Structure 1
Amino acid sequence: MKHTVVMTGASRGIGRVAAEHILRRSPNTHLLVVARQSAGTRLAAELATGGHTVSHVPADLGSLGSVRRAATEIRDRLDRSDVPPLRGFVGNAGIQYTNALTEGPDGLEATFTVNVLANHLFVRLLQDRFAAPARIVITVSDTHFGDFKHNMGMVPGPAWKSPDALARTGAFPEPDTTAAGRTAYSTSKLAAIYLVHEYARRLPAGIDAVAYNPGFVPGTGLARNAGPVSRFAMRRILPVVALTPLATSRDAAGRYLADVVLGTTRAPTGSYVDRGRAARSSEESYDERREGELWEAAERFTAA
């Protein structure tokens, strides 16, 4: 049966690989990609080769107003039956800055806006348009563990604060530094897991929510402009690690993401999928009080 999957972050990297897998393995999928205007038009045309059904909606994920307009357009297309019933949302887009001072047009810190609030706004505005069974997949990161095993010293672990503080610039010490920007990134990925847990509790039966961790994927550029420890790791350690099971290739990470989206990987709602299997996320990521506080804040920040 024909159905629609909405996807952000499909233009490059693991998202592009995942999009190609989804279309090839699920011919009944209408893939609706969310991307900036010119990039989205080009991406939809490239993915549609071979007879696949692909369309796009323009959006700047750093602007909540733009995200709201995109979600509203998707709702309208569904209501007019311009696209088949909605069965999936993939929030794969993510961003990391070299500081914690970058402010978006809404006056909010840009990392938190793109990695947390944009996904939340899509989920909330589309939730009553999903046709069960449906699946929401949010790409997260094992940097949320905050230990050397998971980030090899390149990305500081999360530094949780009240959501109202995290949503504003300058939330971390020395906010003009790369370390602060990376702390904002790992903290935003912890926040995304918290919200997945809330979606699992709050969304109607038949709409599953899953957090997907691709693992360490070399070539993402997370360690550029890094300090001496990370630069040493880039020169001496990463070329070796990339050849070991500690790393995930772009192709493998994209395939794993497609597996989660298509339901090939078994993962009940609220799960954390580490590459190809459901696993346990960090101990810090299970905190119902923080999850509830973040939900309430996200609702406020994304209110029309």
Structure 2
Amino acid sequence: MQHARSTRHRHPARHTLVMTGARRGIGRAAAERILAAAPDTHLLVVARADSGVRLSAELGAGGHAVSHVAADLASLDSVRSAAADIRERLDRGELPPLHGFVGNAGIQYTNALTRGPEGLEATFTVNVLANHLFVRLLQDRLTAPARVVITVSDTHFGDFRHNLGMVPGPAWRSPDVLARTGAFPRPDTTVAGRTAYSTSKLAALHLVHELARRLPAGIDVVAHNPGFVPGTDLARDAGPLARFAMRRIMPALTLTPFATGRAAAGRLLADVVLGRTEAATGSYVDRARVARSSEESYDPRREGDLWEAAERLTAARTG
């Protein structure tokens, strides 16, 4: 797999941080903030091959240490290849010690029928299984103290106060069902696609709770909710009217308590990643403070079932 070497930088990088979803939106703002606030970081961005070179060059401008690894997060085989490449680079000493992973990438489709290359439902694959697989394949290369951060969403609450009625609440099913297309009624509709999104974010919280139980001491895992952030291109798969509203109308909500601007959300995510926002392992950080996620999100039996399913679904890709 081809990857970009780090740009020439003024500050010697002392640790590596792997990040998905850094190309645009919250992730791009967070990546810029991390590099400015922690110049000893080598930021390794995971991006599609056609954008990774440009992204690493743009983020590396000004002397920051940035490189990339190519991956399609909807493909578990591609995630496995990217993780293997990262491991090899760490083992060869091309990267400083690994101290963090940020699973910020997320996707929302206009249906619940979109498949990844392995035939699994794409929302669940990108938002849940890809994070699980990255953490599992990199956890023995993480050097304590380390922090894993997974971006979640307050749509997992499923009430008007948290989603303004724009996204249906989660509809939990067996993880094996959620990993397949057609898990929700009328799977060809936008409602089903948005339900798949909120349910995947609930699953991501379950994953964080289970990882907190299983990761070695010194490796913390935290869920971060940026709140409603208009203009991030999350709904890029939506129809023209919805895209127009998200890009041109909804940003006005950032002037109210109901929404957060992209730059502010990126700063909040960066603070969580860098440990400036204190949070014990397994915590849910709502913007800038530790809070309780939904009551439904605390379910050890469900979390164990999800773990077993994720292990099984990615088993052929972890060896």
Same fold at TM > 0.5? yes
For residue 172 of structure 2, the aligned residue among 160, 169, 173 is 160
- Map 1:1-304 to 2 at 5 A: 2-220=14-232, 224-225=238-239, 238=250, 241-304=253-316
Report Cα offsets for 1:29-85 as digits up to 9, x if no partner: 000000011200100000111110001000010100000000000000111110000
The residue type paired with residue 73 of structure 1 is D
- Conserved 8 A contact 1:90-1:138: yes
Report Cα offsets for 1:157-182 as digits up to 9, x if no partner: 00000000000000000000000000
The residue type paired with residue 20 of structure 1 is E
- Conserved 8 A contact 2:15-2:97: yes
Over aligned residues, Cα RMSD in angstroms?
Answer: 2.0
Deviation, structure 1 residue 220: 3.6
Structure 1 CA distance for aligned equivalents of residues 252 and 104 of structure 2:
27
Structure 1 CA distance for aligned equivalents of residues 157 and 313 of structure 2:
26
TM-score, normalised by the number of residues in structure 1: 0.95
Compared with structure 1, are the counterparts of its residues 53 and 303 closer, same or farther at alpha carbon in structure 2 (3 Å cutoff)? same
Count of paired positions:
301
Compared with structure 1, are the counterparts of its residues 80 and 234 closer, same or farther at alpha carbon in structure 2 (3 Å cutoff)? closer
Deviation, structure 1 residue 226: 10
Look up the match of 2:3. none
Structure 2 CA distance for aligned equivalents of residues 3 and 188 of structure 1:
31
Structure 2 CA distance for aligned equivalents of residues 276 and 146 of structure 1:
21
- Conserved 8 A contact 1:154-1:226: no
Structure 2 CA distance for aligned equivalents of residues 149 and 193 of structure 1:
19
User: SS of 2:120's equivalent?
Assistant: coil
Report Cα offsets for 1:248-287 as digits up to 9, x if no partner: 0000000000000000001000000000111110010000
Structure 2 CA distance for aligned equivalents of residues 5 and 239 of structure 1:
30
TM-score, normalised by the number of residues in structure 2: 0.91
Structure 2: segments with no counterpart, 5+ residues: 1-12
User: SS of 2:42's equivalent?
Assistant: strand
Structure 1 CA distance for aligned equivalents of residues 125 and 220 of structure 2:
23
Structure 1: segments with no counterpart, 5+ residues: none
Structure 2 CA distance for aligned equivalents of residues 261 and 220 of structure 1:
19
Structure 2 CA distance for aligned equivalents of residues 22 and 242 of structure 1:
23
Structure 2 CA distance for aligned equivalents of residues 121 and 107 of structure 1:
17
Structure 1 CA distance for aligned equivalents of residues 166 and 310 of structure 2:
28
Deviation, structure 1 residue 238: 4.3
